[in-house]
Amino acid sequence: MASSNPSIKAVDIPTEVPPRDTFQITVTARQGRGGDPIMSSGACPTKTGDPTGWVTPVTLWVDGERQGTEKLCLANDNEREAIFSLSLSPGEHTVEVRIHQVGDAIPLFQTWEQNIESSTYDDVRQTVTTDENARDPSRKTPAESLMGYVESIAKSLGASTTMLAAGAIGAIVLLGVL
């Protein structure tokens, strides 16, 4: 038997949000190289039917209390995203994301939830302040909207945004010469 080897590759927790506004926290979880979970309490079949996936629990905590759990099935050297929705009351809060280890790391006939503190393998913590004037992280700024529009045009043309910008500059120079 073996234990999983999970880690948090990326997490997006804003530092400031409007109070009582729902926002999302996206967590990219990664399963590193490790043993084979077959015959382990942490085994699961992946999306592709691979029987060597690990149940990878990702938990969301606010001010020390668990608010949500997502269980991902990850084979070795794979990653997936867990998305949590959250709304905070006015004030300052500690938001934390944890990823938990399964397999031999957990005592026989027990679950990772029964050993929630000792099964925590990686975590990211951020202080989040609520403010009436905070920008809603789910809404794009005008610059982000414009960039998204340019990226969609470039993608439909099979080009990059750099190539599109170079073409636009070339067109402006050509018009200036004429």
Torsion of Cα atoms, 106 then 25 then 10 then 120, to 10°:
-20
What band does 118 get if pLDDT is binned at 50, 70 and 90? confident
User: Is the whole-model pTM more than 0.85?
Assistant: no
Tens digit of pLDDT for each residue in 12-63? 999 889 888 889 999 999 998 877 777 666 778 777 777 778 889 999 999 9
CA dist 103 and 5 (Å) reads: 10
How many C-beta neighbours within 10 Å does residue 66 have? 13
Residue 42 in contact with residue 158, Cβ under 8 Å? no
- pLDDT attached to residue 84: 96
